[in-house]
Each structure stands twice: as C-alpha cells, then as structure tokens.
Amino acid sequence: ARQRALESGSAQLVSITLEVEFLDPLAVLESIWERTEWHAYFENVAEDFAFAGAEAVTMAEFRGANRCEEAKAWAQQLLENCIESGDSEHVLGGPQIMIGMTFADESPANSDFAPLSAWVPRWQVLRTGDQTLAVANACIEPDTDIEAVSERILKAHRRFSGFAYSETNAETPSLNRFQKSESSKEAYTSGVASAVRDIRDGKFEKIVLARSEQFTSPTDLSPIGPLSKMRESFWGCHCFAFGNNRGKSFIGATPEILFEKEQGQVHTQALAGSISRAPNAQKDADLGSQLLHSAKDRHEHELVRKAIVKRLKSLGLEVAPSRSPKLLKLKNIQHLNTPIHGTLPPDVSFWDILKTLHPTPAVGGSPREITGKVLHQYETLDRSLYAGAVGMMNRQGDGKMYVAIRSVSVTQRCLEFFAGAGIVAGSDPLKEWDETQLKMNAMRDIFA
C-alpha cells in the first residue's frame, strides 16, 4: 500500500477483515467509545443484524445541491485505492462508508453536522445471524509509519480474538432529574394552522412540521445506555447512532428505511398516517381500523407512496405494483405502511437513489420542490440530522439508509427530542401537536 501511495501520489486504504467468535457490536462500541471520536451504530434485533464502527481513518463533508454527486466521486476514488486482506471475500467484509445526511442540503454555520458527512471507521464489527466480522481499516500515505500501524492492528486483533468487555458506566439517567426547556405549543399549532390554510389555497399538498424539546442533565451523558434500552424496547425498529468528533451523537429507533440497495434490487417503503396503540386487544384493533379507514390518513399516505414510486421510475426502475397499505404496529404507535420494491438499471448507483429519494414526503412534504423552500415559514428549528438519513455503503456499492426519526440528540449535558407530523388539508392543529407528543413519548420513555 505504501509503495502504491508513493507511485500514485494518492493515499491507499487498507482493509483487513477477519471472521471472529460472537461479538455484540454495541458492547464493543461501549468499550471503545470516546466522546471526541466519530462513531456509528445500526441494529435491528428482529433481522438479527448489528454493526458498530468507531474512529475515522478518512472522512469528507459535502454541502449544497450536489452533495450526493460529490460524495459519489469521493467514495469511488476511495474504493479504487483500496487493498483488502483477510476474509475479504465475504460480501459484508471490507470497508464500510458511514453516511450522515441532514434534512436540508445546506446547514447553519454553527450546525453540528455538515449536510453530508462520509467517513470510514478505523474499527468495524458486524454481526449477521451467527457470523461476526471484525474489520480494521488504515489510511496509508507515502510517509506513513507502517510499523506503528501494524502494531496497532495486531494489538486490536489480539483483543478482538478474545474480547474482554471493560466495565463502563453507561446507565441511562432518569428524565425526572433533568431541567426542561419549555416547548411552545402555541407556536407549533399556529404554524400548523397557517400551513393548513396554505394547503387549502392550493400552494402545496402536504408539509411535515417538526418541533423539538430540550432537557439539561445534571450529570454527563453517554449515548450507549439509551441505545441499549432502545434495542430492547423497539426490537422491530432500526436502532441507530451517528456521532461526530465534537461530542454530539444523534440516536434513535426508526421504523422507516429510506432504501436498501442489494444486488440490483432496491427496497423502500411508504410510511405515513399514524394513530396510538391501546393495551386492550379490541380497543387496539379498533384504533387500527380507524386508521385504515381514515380519509385524511389514507390521503396523506397515498401522497407519500405516489411520490416515492414516481421518483424511482424517474431513475428507470421497474417498480412492482403496490398493494393497499397495512398496519405497522410499534410499541406506542401504529402506522400505515406500504413496502415498495424495484429492479435497478445497471447504471443507477447507491448515491443516485439517495439523492432521488431524500427527503420523501413522509418527512418533508409534497411537492418537494415547493415545501423545501417554504418550510422555514412554519417551523423555526435547525433539524440537523432529524428527518435526514443515516446509514452505510459497502465496497460493492450496496447498503442501507435509514430515515432519522424517533430520535434524540445527545451531548455531554443535553438531550434534544425531535418529532414531526404530516399536515394535509384535513389536519387539526391540536391533534397534530398530540401526534408529536405521542412520537416523542417513545424516546422519553427510554429516559423514564
């Protein structure tokens, strides 16, 4: 690798993959997590899949309307200058590129995350079924001290061969001990009412309005304890964390994927329309029936489904016919859900899909070209990664992106909870406020 770097003048990425005995990626992340290092975590207990990565060996940030195209070029060059070793023939082996994409393609100067952050972890642990892969990545420059890099990787190999989890203090403090910043119900419902008027005037069809609530902690916080509780509480959801090197970690348990690209196929979903759950089976079934037959919610859902299908077809995809929406029942809420599948043309990349689908009307609005420009008229917060997309892409250009909702931002002494609601012509401002409360409760319960 160093010889290649000398000859080409370009840094080389070395990736070493080894199959190891069972490891829990979240426990490994807990053991090596540092507040000032990049980190990422994805897990779905129901799918028996988990991944964790920490410390960036190389990373880049992209801004503006062309952020996906620029990231695509960066990733392509990176993977072209990659040397793999070990059990690299495994489809999930080799370097994974971590991706965090904010809701908007521009962000305020003081925002915690760039519009698109892409990086490769120094350490990766991936578990699927009964197989665990440990991956070490290193960036080799012409003047890299190879002996020092080799020793660090060998030391990690010895540790991962018989991983001894260290004692940590990753407990989740009770929210009762936090100081809450008041959230303005009047401001949010006023924004909803204004949006409803504009929808009825024909300015757009749907817009998603978000809000947040902040809590200050009396003690230092870590994202690991809440993540552990999330995966136990929301085993059917996709738990995630995406953290920067400045002490902020954006974590959550999302019910929604933006898309998955795998071997020429793309899988996504329309998820819109919500109602609460009930502990009594008959009442819960009645609530589900109300949702399935709600004209307002079916309309909101159909706007999302049509927009996703239209965007996929614009890429030349063959999209399988969609069936009527079904209920997706989660711990405290149920949604209308329609899975969507398509076959990819050979020239359509992961980054092409990402740019085309994000943001969907489920988190932004419809038409996207209009609502994206007027959103600031109805909400005042910096969404950052909320309603953005987080995920990873492998060396084959396959991967999965998750919609970053049901989420909370964690810093050393602060929590910020986010939630949004889809606004259409039949929306009631007070009911939309209640819906955001219901969605926030899922995260607040983690800190109960």
What would the 3-class secondary structure string for 37-89 be?
Answer: CCEEEEEECCCCEEEEEEEEEEEEEECCCCHHHHHHHHHHHHHHCEEEEECCC
Crossing angle, helix 350-357 and helix 67-80, to 10 degrees?
160
Point out the catalytic residue in the list 30, 84, 205, 206.
Answer: 206
Active site residue 256: yes
Active site residue 70: no
Point out the catalytic residue in the list 30, 84, 256, 416.
Answer: 256
pLDDT, tens digit only, all 448 positions of the chain: 999 999 999 999 999 999 998 999 999 999 999 999 999 999 999 999 999 999 999 999 999 999 999 999 999 999 999 999 998 778 889 999 999 999 999 988 888 999 999 999 999 999 999 899 999 999 999 999 999 999 999 988 887 776 766 655 566 777 877 888 877 899 999 999 999 999 999 999 999 999 999 999 988 999 999 999 999 999 889 999 999 999 999 999 999 999 999 999 999 999 999 999 999 999 999 999 999 999 999 999 999 999 999 999 999 998 988 889 999 999 889 999 999 999 999 999 999 999 999 999 999 999 999 999 999 999 988 999 999 999 999 999 999 999 999 999 999 999 999 999 999 999 999 999 999 999 999 899 998 7
Close Cβ partners of 310 (under 8 Å, ≥ 6 residues apart): none
Residue type, 59: M
